[in-house]
Amino acid sequence: MADLIRGLQLRQVILVALLVLLVAAVTAFQPTFLSLANVANIAVQFSQIGLMAAGMTFVMIAGGIDLSVGSVLALGAGVCGVLMTVGVPLPFAIVGALLSGVVIGWINGTGIAYLKIPALIITLGTLYAVRGAVELYSNGSGSTIAQDFPAAFRFLGQGSVFGLPMPTIVTLLVYVVLHLVLTKTRFGRYTIAIGTDAEAARRSGILVERHLTKIYILSGVMAVIAGLLITAQVNAASIDLGRGAELTVIAAVVVGGTSLYGGQGSIPGTFLGVTFLTIMADALDILNVSPFAIDLATGSLLLLSAAADVLANRRGLIALRNRLLGARETEIAVHKLT
């Protein structure tokens, strides 16, 4: 697997180099690109996709996928907004929103782990079901579910500490915690083991089904947190929040080096992937390029990353097979000598 790991690291190095070139090129044409105001704007945009991508990283390392994150984002924002407007104290409103993410994550995880429903199918189903529920609720109030929230809540999206936007602070803290979880805890080791070989993980004593359910719950909670920060920033919960975000989230995770085959990935890699896509989108926007070009660029980058992942895995599997064959031949030779 060393060849595969080196391949992933090389992809991230290339991504950093492309990021530097992109920033330099855009700054040459538009010096305001690196202004404090635009950098702060990029940082806030990063948090919107970054939180969902952090949860998606665990899902994809475990060999799954979650298409429902955009809809869960809208659901969490709507639940929190409605609870606050009817007088529920802010802490309880936030807890209520987080519980909605837990419920949808549990539904996804249980369906995948215990009922053996393909992840693509069940999360696609919850994508439409949750979005439909949000739109059905807001049918009488238009696209806005709730608005005009308490100052303490708005601070989460509009405030700053030492010049750093609160959404960025929250996102960075989440990334640090989840990086430590993935690399230093049993939860992280189990996630990688399941993505590498679920059956081998089960034979080693890991409760695969239970762990997969926890991973999808984590993804749901991350989506809700993203929704809360966006809602706090714009001071309104809308049914359009998170629409189509799941594809950008998956692209960021794959571009950051997480394998489509599972078992490989990292939070720092996802950080790079989200950063690159966020800066690229902002650069195209500030250069007045057609918004369709953003989709074209994102899709192209995803295809290239997917191709690189396939080639890296193929090389890694071939190297592993050769080592196994070599070990087997050695064993046979030793057996003949004895």
pLDDT tens for each residue of 89-122: 999 999 999 999 999 999 999 999 999 999 999 9
pLDDT at 4 over 60: no
CA distance 251 to 299: 8
Higher pLDDT, 301 or 194: 194
CA distance 284 to 326: 51
Q: Per-residue pLDDT averaged across 17-30, rounded? A: 88
Question: Would you mind telling me the total number of residues written for the chain in this entry?
Answer: 338
CA distance 50 to 19: 17
Are the beta carbons of 70 and 245 closer than 8 angstroms? yes
Angle at 305 between CA 300 and CA 308, to 5 degrees: 130
pLDDT at 174 over 80: yes
Q: How many separate domains does the chain show?
A: 1
In this structure, what are the phi and psi dihedrals at residue 297, rounded to the nearest 5 degrees?
-65, -40
- Going from the C-alpha of 302 to that of each of 127, 279, 322, the distances in angstroms are 21, 15, 30
Residue 143 pLDDT class (50, 70, 90 cuts): confident
Q: Which two tokens stand for residue 89?
A: 């104290």
Q: Per-residue pLDDT averaged across 149-165, rounded? A: 90
Out of 137-141, 143-147, 153-157, which region has the weakest mean confidence (pLDDT)? Answer: 137-141
What angle do the packed helices 291-337 and 2-29 form, to 10 degrees? 160
Out of 188-192, 213-217, 246-250, 293-297, which region has the weakest mean confidence (pLDDT)? Answer: 293-297
State residue 45's pLDDT score.
87
Residue 140 pLDDT class (50, 70, 90 cuts): low
Exposed (0-12), middle (13-18) or buried (19+): which is 200, by Cβ within 10 Å?
A: exposed
SS3 (DSSP) at 161: strand
Model confidence, pTM: 0.86
Q: Provide the mean pLDDT of the chain.
A: 86
Are the beta carbons of 227 and 72 closer than 8 angstroms? yes
Contacts of residue 205, defined as CB under 8 A and 6 or more positions apart, other chains included, come to none
In this structure, what are the phi and psi dihedrals at residue 243, rounded to the nearest 5 degrees?
-65, 120
Residue 163 pLDDT class (50, 70, 90 cuts): confident
- The CATH number that applies at residue 10 is 1.10.3470
In this structure, what are the phi and psi dihedrals at residue 233, rounded to the nearest 5 degrees?
-70, -45
CA distance 29 to 25: 7
Please report, as a single letter, which amino acid is at residue 104: I
- Say how many CA atoms lie within 13 Å of 61 toward its Cβ: 27
State residue 281's pLDDT score.
87
Q: What is the pLDDT of residues 309-333, one digit of tens each?
A: 777 665 544 444 454 445 444 444 4
CA distance 207 to 289: 49
**What stretch of H or E contains 146?**
strand 144-147
Out of 53-62, 75-84, 233-242, which region has the weakest mean confidence (pLDDT)? Answer: 233-242
Beta-bridge partner residues of 147: 236
Contacts of residue 52, defined as CB under 8 A and 6 or more positions apart, other chains included, come to 69, 70, 73, 219, 222, 223, 226, 245, 246, 249
pLDDT at 70 over 90: yes
Over the range 123-156, which residues count as b (16 or more CB within 10 Å of their CB) and which as e? bbbbbeebbeebbeebeeeeeebbeebeeebbeb
Residue spans of alpha helices (H) in 68-185: 69-85, 90-113, 119-137, 151-158, 166-184
Domain of residue 288 covers 2-337
